Amino acid sequence: MTSEQQFNVAVVGATGAVGVKMLETLDQKNFPIKNLLLLSSKRSAGKEVEFQGRTYIVQEATPESFEGVDIALFSAGGSVSKALAPEAVKRGAVVVDNTSAYRMDPDVPLVVPEVNEEDIAKHNGIIANPNCSTIQMVAALKPVQDLFGLSRVLVSTYQAVSGAGNEAVEELREQSQALLNGEAVKAELLPVSGAEKHYPIAFNALPQIDVFQDNGYTFEEMKMINETKKIMHDDAIQVAATCVRLPFFTSHAESVYVEVDKEGVTAAELKEAISQAAGVVLEDDPANQVYPTPLSASGKSEVFVGRIRKDLDNEKGFHLWVVSDNLLKGAAWNSVQIAESLVKNNWLTK
């Protein structure tokens, strides 16, 4: 492969919250694009989108859309990916899928490049982009696993509304405005679109992201649990999660408790390990009130970690605070990193 090589790239879900960030990331990284194809569901077809000084008309995605496409980035919901990712692969495209449709499929690599880039080589046409909350957590925990061994992870999340899409962002805006104006608040979307009940997100906290499973966990929580084991290549890690939606627009925060295998590890050693990790920035200086927040992390591509401290009772336990932009590293940025890796390592064709 030569560095001048260029690729036909399709973005499916180009007008969505993540799709817009995919285009921004492709532009920012100057991805070698020959032709760009912007696709969507029927609902958004016909919209105009600017990219690198040109206007593109978004087209409804059909199986035939993928003729001649080299790389297809999907973020238009699980049902679109289920219907069309195999059609894209059939026509020779490699799919990077940012939905939960294929993540736990044993034939599909689930990849955070800083953690398990080499898994991309095993793809059969589809590579899955993990859940946003999972991505930032495993990026922060990878150096902990490598240096000290990781036996247990207990996480509670503080998640932004943009993960649920542009309509959820609108809902938070409208509810906030209504509340501050002393008007009635309408809840029509969150916690889950199409569910029987909806609760206000403005000035609230909702302990439900995605649908409930029979075991009492939500699907978002089970995604964090199952995806962490798959990406970190260790089914024996004990993982539990509580996922909560909060009323801010962008970036997820997480309170993470871990237990390491090694004895005698200090908080200073953990900080040092995390400060060296690829794609991770240590922001941890309590004396000067330095720690990451959703506002400080928004618009940035890294994962930010602070508040690292040793548990007071368990000698092998540590607490961390992990924050990242859910639409960038949690979605678009990670997907484009996977595409870059496919190109750089010559893994597009088998």
What mask of x and - would describe binding to ligand L14 in positions 82 to 101, judged by CB under 6 A? -----------------xx-
Of residues 173 through 212, those in contact with ligand L14 by CB under 6 A are 209-210
Q: Is 243 a catalytic residue?
A: no
Structure tokens of 187? 């809840």
> Which lies closer to ligand L14 via its Cβ, residue 143 or residue 200?
200
Token look-up 């509810």 returns 175
Q: Is 252 a catalytic residue?
A: yes
| Cα–Cα dist 340/242, whole Å | 33
Residue 171 binds ligand L14 (CB under 6 A): no
CB 175 within 8 A of CB 187: yes
Q: Of 26, 132, 139, 322, which one interacts with ligand L14 (CB under 6 A)? A: 132
| Cα–Cα dist 206/172, whole Å | 13
Which residues does 162 contact at the CB level (< 8 Å), separation at least 6?
17, 168, 169, 249, 250, 326, 327
Of residues 215 through 234, those in contact with ligand L14 by CB under 6 A are 220, 223
Residue 164 binds ligand L14 (CB under 6 A): yes
What mask of x and - would describe binding to ligand L14 in positions 19 to 58, judged by CB under 6 A? ----------------------------------------
CB 256 within 8 A of CB 322: yes
> Which lies closer to ligand L14 via its Cβ, residue 123 or residue 223?
223
CB 238 within 8 A of CB 211: no
Q: How far is the CB of 223 from ligand L14 (least distance, A)?
A: 6
CB atoms within 10 A of CB 4: 6
Structure tokens of 272? 């040092």
Task: Write the CA distances from 183 to 170, 200, 248, integer angstroms.
Answer: 16, 13, 20
Residue 81 binds ligand L14 (CB under 6 A): no
Q: Which stretch binds ligand L14 (CB under 6 A): 38-46, 87-95, 159-167, 196-204?
A: 159-167
Q: Which stretch binds ligand L14 (CB under 6 A): 20-28, 57-65, 158-166, 305-313?
A: 158-166
Structure tokens of 316? 């092998």
Q: How far is the CB of 191 from ligand L14 (least distance, A)?
A: 8
Structure tokens of 28? 């920012």
- Which residues of the shown chain bind ligand L14 in the complex (CB under 6 A)? 99-100, 131-132, 159, 163-164, 209-210, 220, 223
| Active site positions, annotated | 132, 252
